A and B are shown apart, each in its own frame.
Chain A
């Protein structure tokens, strides 16, 4: 249903091996400082993947590299079976309509209302009549749990939690196959964060989304992530929490066995 609608069938076949995102040997360097040194990562179709790591390990850089906001020094990135670095402009634009991104504080366009923000991608990519566009926008607004009145409001008039929901609505405007979330629950109170987790989970299930989320929130990791990608030693280790716990790496042990983790696991 929310699969890429306009990719050619030949490419579909390659997508079907269940990896919608495939990173091989990605290297990111800032000056002399190497952040990623040969990162390999597969994101499977329909999973929720959490990305964790200490400060400065390049979680956001990794996300920005995948969505093409940053050119890596080396390596290949395939999204939905396409090498993102080998696309021409038209193909890159087309591919971008198949993913949605929620930036940390929503990154809503402040001069537009929430409804207009959601319509930006719709206007850019589709030929809907104004009436249908408004109806679709309303579906998105209610889908993320915003009251319909919020549609006419400007981002400045919304609370932080509502801005995130509005940002999510914009990310979902095109019914993308993949959604990237950058710290979706940061800055929310525990109840708001738990609600947002549930929202992501339920949307992921009903829309069949693949979700990649950078997060520090142990509760969200445990509640909604199928697998977790840990950035350590400039590389990525992926696995479920039990699998990761078997690894004998000090950072992983500290992260998943520290006092906060114990509280989150409820043990």
Chain B
């Protein structure tokens, strides 16, 4: 079987015969295309495109030959096919249909225009997103108010189950990570402060920074990654399975059934986790202080008691429910925004994590400003 194609032109009186030969398929058309584009008859010639010796022809080959004829026609020549095989006619039928359509616009913009386009689009999306999230916040508040009026409507089993999932199940990872951060903070602090002969203040550094900021911030970030994503994925999967639509159709408010239990559970659990994180960080710090500062546990505790006012602890814990609320809100919001496919679940879960960590840090900054105003 001939696996190459060729095209040649020969004059025939006042005619030009363009003879296509051999295989005209995707396998050969890449090379033939250039030759076909190069064909240019001298003026006044009538062109006959002879397909007699074409063996294999597919849609791509037919398209290239058809395009040659149309180009010659538009340049003012008389151009016709000759000897089109019976089995090839069907192909040209499809090509003619295609030619009647307007050109395909694949939207290849200039890079700068695309940049501007995307900047504008994304900014507008961000604005819409903020509005939508505020609307969701409002809806959630109204539902919560309704549910608190009739506490029987709250699903206590569901709340307790979520408390286990987001609280108790998170304890190993939260404990381990904050313990390690306590160790690292003490080690680094001791190393720096030793140069001033002020190693003992490492305990102050550890106590204040951990209780006020690090403990709760670490917890919130871990929970955002762990539970914020889980909320989005759980609710998102239910959305894909149309379970959420089924609830609405049955007259059940999905916010009351899905969002409130998760949010309440997280708000209840987060301060506890924050306290646990503080303690675990201090234990890590104490261990490191004993090893690298040659302090006894008693000395460590005495120093800590003198250094850390009670308020430092409350400043940390007070933020916990707010962080919890933000994480639950963002996670559930993104879960409910899932639409269509499984791919959307993945995208929304990622967004839930990014947005909730972002929000946690912004809220933490706002708290810092407020606390510095009121002087604690």
List residues of chain A with CB under 8 Å of any chain B CB: 1-3, 5-6, 9, 12, 110, 113, 115, 122, 125-129, 132, 134-143, 147-149, 151-152, 156, 172, 174-175, 205-208
Within 8 A of A (CB), among B46-92: 56-60, 63-64, 67, 87-88, 90-91
The residues of B that contact A1 with a CB separation of less than 8 Å are 56-58, 87-88, 91
Partner of B23, one of A5, A140, A149, A172: A5
Task: Kindly state whether residue B38 has any CB partner on chain A within 8 Å.
Answer: no
Residues B94 and A174 in contact, CB atoms below 8 Å apart: no
Residues B93 and A152 in contact, CB atoms below 8 Å apart: no
Residues B59 and A129 in contact, CB atoms below 8 Å apart: no
Residues B57 and A6 in contact, CB atoms below 8 Å apart: no
Residues A127 and B30 in contact, CB atoms below 8 Å apart: yes
Q: A113-B106, A134-B104, A136-B59 are in contact. Are A142 and B27 (CB under 8 A)?
A: no
Task: Kindly state whether residue B97 has any CB partner on chain A within 8 Å.
Answer: yes
Residues A143 and B30 in contact, CB atoms below 8 Å apart: no
- Counting residue pairs across A and B whose Cβ atoms lie within 8 Å, the total is 109
Within 8 A of A (CB), among B1-48: 1, 3, 23, 25-31, 33
Whose C-beta in chain A lies nearest to the C-beta of B60?
A136
The residues of B that contact A127 with a CB separation of less than 8 Å are 30-31
List residues of chain B with CB under 8 Å of any chain A CB: 1, 3, 23, 25-31, 33, 56-60, 63-64, 67, 87-88, 90-91, 93-95, 97-98, 101-107, 340-341, 343
The residues of A that contact B104 with a CB separation of less than 8 Å are 115, 134, 137-138, 141, 148, 151-152
The residues of A that contact B98 with a CB separation of less than 8 Å are 138-139, 141-143
Residues B103 and A2 in contact, CB atoms below 8 Å apart: no
Question: Can you list 29 A-B contacts with CB-CB less than 8 angstroms, sorted by A residue number?
Answer: A1-B58, A1-B91, A2-B56, A5-B23, A5-B58, A6-B3, A110-B343, A126-B29, A128-B26, A128-B29, A132-B30, A132-B33, A135-B67, A136-B63, A137-B104, A139-B59, A139-B95, A139-B98, A142-B94, A142-B97, A143-B94, A143-B98, A148-B104, A152-B107, A175-B59, A206-B90, A206-B94, A207-B59, A207-B90
Residues B1 and A207 in contact, CB atoms below 8 Å apart: no
The residues of A that contact B87 with a CB separation of less than 8 Å are 1, 208
Q: A128-B26, A132-B33, A142-B94 are in contact. Are A175 and B106 (CB under 8 A)?
A: no
The residues of B that contact A152 with a CB separation of less than 8 Å are 104-107
Docked pose: A24 CA to B90 CA in angstroms: 34
Whose C-beta in chain A lies nearest to the C-beta of B339?
A156
Docked pose: A21 CA to B91 CA in angstroms: 24
Residues A138 and B101 in contact, CB atoms below 8 Å apart: yes
Q: A12-B1, A143-B94 are in contact. Are A138 and B103 (CB under 8 A)?
A: yes
State how many angstroms separate the Cβ of B84 from the closest Cβ of chain A.
12
Whose C-beta in chain B lies nearest to the C-beta of A141?
B104
Residues A115 and B106 in contact, CB atoms below 8 Å apart: yes
Identify 6 new A-B residue pairs, CB closer than 8 A, beyond the known A129-B33, A141-B104, A148-B103: A1-B88, A2-B56, A5-B26, A5-B27, A135-B63, A206-B93
State how many angstroms separate the Cβ of A136 from the closest Cβ of chain B.
5
The residues of B that contact A140 with a CB separation of less than 8 Å are 59
Residues B33 and A143 in contact, CB atoms below 8 Å apart: no
Whose C-beta in chain B lies nearest to the C-beta of A202?
B90
Q: A127-B30, A156-B341 are in contact. Are A148 and B101 (CB under 8 A)?
A: yes
Docked pose: A5 CA to B58 CA in angstroms: 10
Q: A128-B33, A135-B63, A139-B63 are in contact. Are A9 and B1 (CB under 8 A)?
A: yes
State how many angstroms separate the Cβ of A186 from the closest Cβ of chain B.
18
State how many angstroms separate the Cβ of A145 from the closest Cβ of chain B.
9
State how many angstroms separate the Cβ of B15 from the closest Cβ of chain A.
27
Docked pose: A135 CA to B107 CA in angstroms: 15
State how many angstroms separate the Cβ of B317 from the closest Cβ of chain A.
44
Residues B105 and A207 in contact, CB atoms below 8 Å apart: no
Residue from B57, B58, B95, B103 having most chain A Cβ neighbours under 10 A: B58
State how many angstroms separate the Cβ of B67 from the closest Cβ of chain A.
7
Docked pose: A141 CA to B101 CA in angstroms: 10
Residues B30 and A175 in contact, CB atoms below 8 Å apart: no
Whose C-beta in chain B lies nearest to the C-beta of A142?
B98
Docked pose: A18 CA to B97 CA in angstroms: 31
The residues of A that contact B58 with a CB separation of less than 8 Å are 1-2, 5, 175, 207
State how many angstroms separate the Cβ of B113 from the closest Cβ of chain A.
16
Residues B26 and A125 in contact, CB atoms below 8 Å apart: yes
